[in-house]
Structure 1
Amino acid sequence: MTAYDAIVLAGGAAKRLGGADKPGLRVGGRALLDRVLAACADAGSTVVVGGRRPTVRAVTWAREEPHGGGPLAALGAGMRHTSAQYVVVLSADLPFLGADTVRALLAASAPGTGVDGALCTDEGGRDQPLVAVYRAEPLRRELALLAAEHGGLAGLPLRLLTHELTLCRVPAGPLASFDCDTWEDIASARARIREHGTVLDEWITAVKDELGIDLDVDTGLLLDLARDAAHGVARPAAPLTTFLVGYAAGKASGDGGGPEVVAEAARKAAALALRWADETGSP
């Protein structure tokens, strides 16, 4: 995959949200900003342009001048902290943006494609310049030209930038470009998590973020273990057994283990639960 830096724009007045701290609003138990940071976790460096706040991973902070100067001013401030040849540019209010969309944008603008970048389009075919990848050299050039022509970048619309670049369009799908501008959008995003069969994945990710755990979890394996413990031993054994498996895996991971440590501990506990069940009714 093409190496890149990321800039996340997390400023703005959020007027349609009554001035609420939009990047800090939670969807599925996770701040909107943290959800976007997860989508660009492979970035060499990540710059967040906006007010400082706790985040799920380390970032570099920047502020546009003047504060509230708009997306081009924020982008210019962020670019001063990047060095990669490609820059992923994202707004901080995209609850369903995933790493797969970032990878698709990078692939569409990879060396040899002859474009200056790639941006997503929403379901209506509208450009989404804050869900995009840009080559750093033409991006810096056009930002400098706009600043020289207009005496700065504050207040300028993004279209002045995108019209000067050769960009590939990538359909975003129904969710990747969904942004939260109103309380209705926030409510819709929160409901969608629970209505579209992803609640377990969302919950596991939220728990890992809350506990500071960076580990792939085989949810199916743990659910099978909980089922075997509940059916073969007793219902209360299910949560207690999965806790003990996690504790054992945590101790073992200190020796350099990874997801395979969890899997091995779960297999051992599941086999024990089956042996326990087999003894029921034995003479």
Structure 2
Amino acid sequence: MYFDAVILAGGRSSRLGGSPKAELIYEGETLLHRSIAAARGARRIVVVGPEAHDLPPGVLSCREDPPFAGPAAAIAAGLALLESPARPGDDAYVLVLACDMPRVADAVHALLEALHGGDGVMAVSGDGRRQPLAGFYRTAVLERAVEEAAARNALNHGSVFALLARLDVQAVTVPAGSTDDVDTWDDAAALGVDASNHPG
């Protein structure tokens, strides 16, 4: 199974007082590096967000335009950097990951095991909450969805669920806690994420 990875690391982190989520530490690693590790096996990995100076060799980086235009625009930017438009019959996928889920490697493993063709798979927590920023999507179909959204001027600040609306995506229940994300300092504390950068 061939796949690339687009990791989203460009949010404002407004509920964290502007402290970048990507730089928070969990079990000795930044959340960004944990996300990159979770994408192990990808042919190419693109990090979309502010320039990072300590990316592993071979990991690409770019920024959505304009900055802070939201995750749909970031997905589009990451796909554009991969520079190899997929053909409709290509058996290639792209893993889309937000960088704020410290235990997401377990979700990625479950998603890969469940991926057997179709337009893709999306993580769902045990309580039924869908997480579109932890999913594998067929590259050709996602590229087409991005093109259509761009034609409607619906990428900037657009909904990821809207971007994926026409994809036939299978919901996959992933291990408990694997898609828990860090939006607030309380979330960080609950997940055991280092809160030493907490401004308070």
Q: Give the TM-score normalised by the residue count of structure 1.
A: 0.62
5+ residue gaps, structure 2, are 87-91, 194-200
Q: Aligned partners of 2:176, 2:65: CA distance in 1, in Å?
A: 34
- What RMSD, in angstroms, separates the aligned Cα atoms of the two structures? 1.8
Aligned length: 186
Return the offset for 1:102: 2.0
Q: Is residue 10–residue 50 contact of structure 2 (8 Å, CA) maintained in 1?
A: yes
Q: Name the structure 2 match of 1:70.
A: 70
Identity of aligned residues (%): 38
Q: Name the structure 1 match of 2:178.
A: 176
Higher RCO by CA contacts (8 Å cutoff, separation 6 or greater): 2
SS class of match (1:104): helix
Return the offset for 1:54: 3.5
SS class of match (1:176): coil
Q: Aligned partners of 2:7, 2:100: CA distance in 1, in Å?
A: 10
Return the offset for 1:29: 1.9
Return the offset for 1:94: 1.0
SS class of match (2:32): helix
Q: Aligned partners of 2:22, 2:42: CA distance in 1, in Å?
A: 19
Return the offset for 1:152: 4.9
SS class of match (1:120): strand
Return the offset for 1:37: 0.9
Q: Name the structure 2 match of 1:60.
A: 60
Q: Is residue 110–residue 174 contact of structure 2 (8 Å, CA) maintained in 1?
A: no
Q: Name the structure 2 match of 1:225.
A: none
Q: Is residue 109–residue 116 contact of structure 1 (8 Å, CA) maintained in 2?
A: no
Deviations 1:235-277 (A, max 9, x none): xxxxxxxxxxxxxxxxxxxxxxxxxxxxxxxxxxxxxxxxxxx
| One of 109, 132, 141 as aligned partner of 1:103 | 109
Deviations 1:79-137 (A, max 9, x none): 01234721000000111111x532332342333xxx21100011220110000000000
Q: Aligned partners of 1:73, 1:168: CA distance in 2, in Å?
A: 23
- Give the aligned residue type for 1:157: S
Q: Aligned partners of 1:178, 1:188: CA distance in 2, in Å?
A: 10
Q: Is residue 27–residue 186 contact of structure 1 (8 Å, CA) maintained in 2?
A: no
Q: Name the structure 2 match of 1:117.
A: 120
Larger radius of gyration: 1
Q: Aligned partners of 2:41, 2:54: CA distance in 1, in Å?
A: 16
Q: Aligned partners of 1:183, 1:76: CA distance in 2, in Å?
A: 29
Q: Name the structure 2 match of 1:15.
A: 14
Q: Name the structure 1 match of 2:166.
A: 164
In terms of mean alpha carbon deviation, does 65-74 or 75-84 score higher?
A: 75-84
Q: Is residue 72–residue 155 contact of structure 2 (8 Å, CA) maintained in 1?
A: yes
- Structure holding more helix per residue: 1
5+ residue gaps, structure 1, are 192-283
Q: Aligned partners of 1:81, 1:33: CA distance in 2, in Å?
A: 19
Q: Aligned partners of 1:40, 1:73: CA distance in 2, in Å?
A: 20
Q: Aligned partners of 1:110, 1:134: CA distance in 2, in Å?
A: 11
Q: Name the structure 1 match of 2:98.
A: 91
Q: Aligned partners of 2:151, 2:131: CA distance in 1, in Å?
A: 25
